[in-house]
Amino acid sequence: MKMMPMQTSTTSMTTYETASASFETYLAALRANLAEREPELLAEFDIYAGEAQFGRQWLHAELQQLAPGSIILEVGAGMFLLACQLQREGFAVTALEPVGSGFAHFHRLQQLVLEYAKQHQVIPEIFPYPAEELTQENRFVFAYSLNVMEHVTDVQKVLERVSAALRRGSRYRFVCPNYAFPFETHFRVPIIINKNITLMIFKNTILHTPNLVDPQAGWDSLNWITVTKIRCICKKLRISASFNPTILNFYVDRALKEPSFCARHPFIHRLICAMRMVGLLQMVRFITMQWTPVIDCTITKN
């Protein structure tokens, strides 16, 4: 079965292709700049660039509905690549991310990205603190995050604060793993019952995961978010939540076609290829939202 991205009109698709080409040009120029200054950071940059390009595609339909100059918020901006691109496209972007935190290579790459953005006048407004400390009220018309919500310290607090920062009727859309699905994608291990038991069984694998500077800290940061937990929190906060089942199509497509994604997740790539080969790929459409491996959630402020 061929997995297709979200359908768009011809005009919308042309607009996306234009934005995508513009983003690729920007990333290529930034990469060339990095290659001259600190080429040892290129491998790390390529990972973040791939995620940012996926994020731009994922958000396309939402961005099409926003007026030029709309004030939007990225929760957990990482390398600021997507935030800078949306700033280039004419949105007024605020990026929530502790600048200079984390490990040296992350900090340095982040610094170089922001220097380049400043030179080209596409740097977003930056809030250098965690999402739990967001104090804005009724400001943003849209907020989003990409693979961030599984790392926040307090999911309920983040949803509460981001919701408060939105204007009435505005949305916060985020994508992250679903820990009801029995596989942990960061460490590439099966989930056995819960976090503690999984660590006990796979401790050696987890603590020696390649390409992670501090696997223990990375493991500790995971909050085991699920669709069920999100629904319970939203009910408690009296905010509405909807879930997009077609997000799995995007990830299947990435697992088949995106080289950097395949390199980082070889098990997933091999599994999807094997399922396609034996004709089982069409079965993913029958996975209920509660158990799908990826969460694509939209919170709406009523």
Farthest CA pair distance, the chain: 52
Does pLDDT of 34 surpass 60?
Answer: yes
The tens digit of pLDDT for each residue in 135-150 reads 999 999 999 999 999 9
Alpha-carbon span 192 to 184, nearest angstrom: 10
SS3 254: helix
Alpha-carbon span 82 to 52, nearest angstrom: 5
Does pLDDT of 82 surpass 50?
Answer: yes
Alpha-carbon span 297 to 161, nearest angstrom: 16
Element (H, E) at 33: helix 10-37
pLDDT at 36: 95
Contact in structure between 296 and 243 (CB atoms under 8 Å):
yes
Q: Which residue has the higher pLDDT, 159 or 282?
A: 159
Which residues, including other chains, have CB under 8 Å from residue 133's CB and lie 6 or more apart?
161
Q: Over range 184-200, report the average pLDDT.
A: 94
% of the chain with per-residue pLDDT over 70? 92
pLDDT at 6: 39
Q: Over range 43-63, report the average pLDDT.
A: 93
Backbone phi, then psi, for 184, in 5-degree steps? -100, 115
Domains by residue range for the chain, with CATH: 10-179+224-251+291-300 (3.40.50.150)
Q: What angle do CA 212, 255, 102 make, to 5 degrees?
A: 20
Q: What is the side-by-side strand order in the sheet with 294-300?
A: 125-127, 92-96, 71-75, 140-146, 166-177, 294-300, 240-243
Alpha-carbon span 302 to 297, nearest angstrom: 16
Distance of CA 102 to the CA centre of its chain: 18
Does pLDDT of 5 surpass 50?
Answer: no
Q: Over range 244-259, report the average pLDDT.
A: 82
Q: How confident is the model at residue 17 (pLDDT cuts 50, 70, 90)?
A: confident
- Which of these ranges, 29-33, 48-52, 209-213, 225-229, has the smallest mean pLDDT? 209-213
The tens digit of pLDDT for each residue in 176-188 reads 999 999 999 899 8
Q: Which residue has the higher pLDDT, 9 or 171?
A: 171
Does pLDDT of 112 surpass 80?
Answer: yes
Distance of CA 254 to the CA centre of its chain: 14
